[in-house]
């Protein structure tokens, strides 16, 4: 499958989100205490059959379906889908929310699309096609602009969560000289690293695989890497974990410059 096919599905999901965004919508709280809106549900309902038609042999792991107890069998190839990443940002109407679709093969995110419908910007990347950014207007994607990570300077630009910041993150960053810290919501943080606007994104807090896989795929395609705190590449399709639920991530760091990740692994060792 091509990035164009995946982006078309993400754009279709974004249409459903913007329909709700323009109304006086309500939100509910799920069992894990995270919020959910009609936009999350409608977007997922539109995209799942499109993905199933595109790749019938690929298992679909979608956030709202899993939350409702629909957990598919283990598979080596799967789509990880977050129909509305950054629901808190959606509720606060600040634009920092995204549609996330990732293709994972043997634990590695090999293709991903991150679409921010409110700000009209889409990022996509794959191992075969590289990474790009594009403007979206009236549901149509414009010219692709190739993006790439940049080597780490002496003073870094760090990006972190708008809604889930922590003292632990601030402490972790003290190992580096940080010139500036930028707060953004959803998987947009990965995209800032991928396009060279930031150097590092540490996340010392709770995330699930559908939160990160698409942004991770874009970042890898742009030349970056996402690792656990001991320097191992972040893996996907995690099931039957000893200390956590299926698809839960450990703490991780997204790096624009893989050399920074190498140093982290050496320090951990």
Tell me: do 142 and 25 sit in the same domain. Answer: yes
Among 146, 169, 190, the domain boundary falls at: 146
pLDDT at 25: 85
Tell me: do 121 and 27 sit in the same domain. Answer: yes
CA distance 102 to 245: 20
State which residues form the domain around 75: 3-146
**CATH number of residue 222's parent domain:** 3.40.190.80
Residue 258 has pLDDT above 80, yes or no: yes
230 appears as a binding residue in the annotation = no
In-domain check, residue 254? yes
Average pLDDT over residues 37-48: 95
260 appears as a binding residue in the annotation = no
Tell me: do 22 and 140 sit in the same domain. Answer: yes
211 appears as a binding residue in the annotation = yes
**CATH number of residue 30's parent domain:** 3.30.540.10
Average pLDDT over residues 181-193: 94
Residue 225 has pLDDT above 80, yes or no: yes
Q: Across the chain, what does the average pLDDT equal?
A: 93
82 appears as a binding residue in the annotation = yes
Tell me: do 126 and 29 sit in the same domain. Answer: yes
pLDDT at 24: 81
The pLDDT tens digits for 114-167 are: 999 999 999 999 999 999 999 999 999 999 999 999 999 999 999 998 666 678
In-domain check, residue 151? no
- Which of the residue ranges 66-75, 103-112, 144-153 would you say has the lowest mean pLDDT? 66-75
Residue 19 has pLDDT above 60, yes or no: yes
Average pLDDT over residues 17-32: 87
Contact 28, 125 (CB under 8 A): no
In-domain check, residue 64? yes
pLDDT at 26: 85
Average pLDDT over residues 41-51: 97
How far out from the chain centre does Cα 111 lie? Answer: 11
pLDDT at 94: 92
Among 146, 180, 206, the domain boundary falls at: 146
Residue 220 has pLDDT above 70, yes or no: yes
85 appears as a binding residue in the annotation = yes
Return the DSSP state at 125: E
What's the whole-model pTM score? 0.95
87 appears as a binding residue in the annotation = yes
Exposure of 56 by Cβ count < 10 A (0-12 exposed, 13-18 middle, 19+ buried)? Answer: exposed
91: enclosing H helix or E strand: helix 87-92
Tell me: do 18 and 135 sit in the same domain. Answer: yes
In-domain check, residue 76? yes
CA distance 150 to 257: 7
86 appears as a binding residue in the annotation = yes
Among 146, 164, 195, the domain boundary falls at: 146
Contact 66, 84 (CB under 8 A): no
Tell me: do 216 and 117 sit in the same domain. Answer: no
């Amino acid at each position: 499958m091509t990035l164009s096919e995946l982006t078309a599905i993400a754009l279709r999901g974004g249409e459903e989100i913007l329909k709700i965004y323009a109304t006086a919508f309500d939100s509910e709280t799920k069992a894990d205490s995270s919020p959910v809106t009609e936009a999350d549900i409608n977007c997922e309902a539109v995209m799942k059959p499109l993905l199933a038609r595109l790749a019938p042999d690929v298992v679909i792991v979608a956030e709202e379906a899993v939350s409702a107890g629909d957990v598919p069998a283990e598979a080596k190839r799967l789509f990880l889908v977050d129909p509305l990443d950054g629901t808190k940002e959606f509720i606060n109407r600040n634009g920092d929310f995204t549609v996330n679709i990732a293709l994972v093969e043997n634990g590695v995110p090999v293709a991903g699309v991150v679409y921010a419908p409110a700000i009209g910007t889409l990022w996509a990347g794959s191992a075969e096609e590289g990474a790009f950014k594009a403007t979206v207007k009236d549901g149509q994607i414009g010219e692709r602009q190739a993006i790439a990570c940049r080597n780490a300077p002496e003073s870094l630009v760090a990006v972190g969560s708008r809604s889930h910041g922590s003292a632990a993150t601030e402490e972790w960053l003290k190992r580096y000289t940080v010139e500036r810290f930028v707060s953004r919501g959803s998987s947009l943080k990965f995209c800032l690293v991928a396009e060279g606007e930031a150097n590092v994104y540490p996340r010392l807090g709770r995330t699930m695989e559908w939160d990160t896989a698409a942004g991770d795929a874009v970042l890898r395609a742009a030349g970056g890497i996402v690792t656990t705190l001991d320097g191992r590449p972040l893996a996907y399709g995690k099931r039957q974990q000893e200390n956590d639920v299926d698809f839960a991530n450990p703490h991780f760091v997204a790096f624009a410059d893989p050399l920074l990740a190498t140093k982290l692994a050496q320090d951990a060792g």
